Amino acid sequence: MITGATSGIGEACARKFAAGGYDLIITARRQERLEALKRELAEMGAAVTTLCFDVRDLEATKAALAGLDGLAIDVLINNAGLALGLEKEYEGDFDDWNTMIDTNVKGLLTVTRLIVPGMVKRNSGHVINIGSVAGDAAYAGGAVYCATKAAVKTITDGLRIDLAETAVRVTNIKPGLVETNFSVVRFHGDEQRAENVYKGIEPLTGADIADVAFYAASAPKHVQIAEVLVLATHQASGSVIHRD
């Protein structure tokens, strides 16, 4: 099950796991894109269920997941998320803050809370959370987004501790710059500004992150890839990026 599968990292994960023989539950808010991806993945031989809901909406999330009717989920990729804005903290937009916190933190928690009990019952499963290098340290204009990804790190660590007595594995993948729709969303549709983020550096792709997620899920059962920081070669940290 992959949340936020209509674009970027989630979509790439869907392709990678389908190619690797998994059946898929793909979720996001845009039904048409889910259906288009479903058709593509079905051609690869995957059985695909689409669930259209907003992870910020607790009741809608509960209702959508209840519809799975006990389907066993082997791997949950908590990927749905976003950054909004790059303003100084003292000038930030209240709605942007709420959307980031509600999606990246509370939405991830909600899905986790609803899916993990089944994994515990079966004593089998894997939760892969998409954190970020942004969770390692704040960068200019990124305080609230960075804080949500620091929260993802802590929430992931806490889940791993709470599941240590089970065979369920927990992974935090922390990408750096990945060229997806992320920056277009961050800059509220300003494509020119979004393009500038990836100028002068070869960024990661969604497929690069999907490779890491697939590796973590494919590791022998006694191996738990707890955390992975994945950066473009010319990125050294959240704020050190060498550009030609």
Interacting residues with ligand NDP (CB under 6 A): 3-10, 28-30, 33, 54-56, 79-82, 103, 107, 130, 132, 175, 177-178, 180-182, 185, 206
Amino acid at 24: L
Distance CA 156, CA 154 (A): 5
Q: How far is the CB of 221 from ligand 8X3 (least distance, A)?
A: 30
Q: How far is the CB of 116 from ligand NDP (least distance, A)?
A: 18
Given the complex with ligand NDP, which of 137 and 223 has the nearer CB atom?
137
Given the complex with ligand NDP, which of 22 and 53 has the nearer CB atom?
53
Residue written as token pair 């908590």: 78
User: What are the backbone angles phi and psi of residue 18, rounded to the nearest 5°?
Assistant: -65, -45
Q: Which of residues 142-171 bind ligand 8X3 (CB under 6 A)?
A: 142
Reply yes or no on whether 145 is catalytic.
yes
Window of 1-9, 20-28, 131-139, 215-223 that interacts with ligand 8X3 by CB under 6 A: 131-139
Give the DSSP H/E element, type plus range, for residue 102: none
Q: Tokens representing 173? A: 């993948």
DSSP 72: P
Closest CA to 75 of 40, 28, 121, 23: 23
Other CB atoms within 10 Å distance of the CB of residue 166: 15
Q: How far is the CB of 143 from ligand NDP (least distance, A)?
A: 15
Mind telling me the catalytic residues?
Answer: 145
Residues binding ligand 8X3 (CB under 6 A): 132-134, 142, 176-177, 238
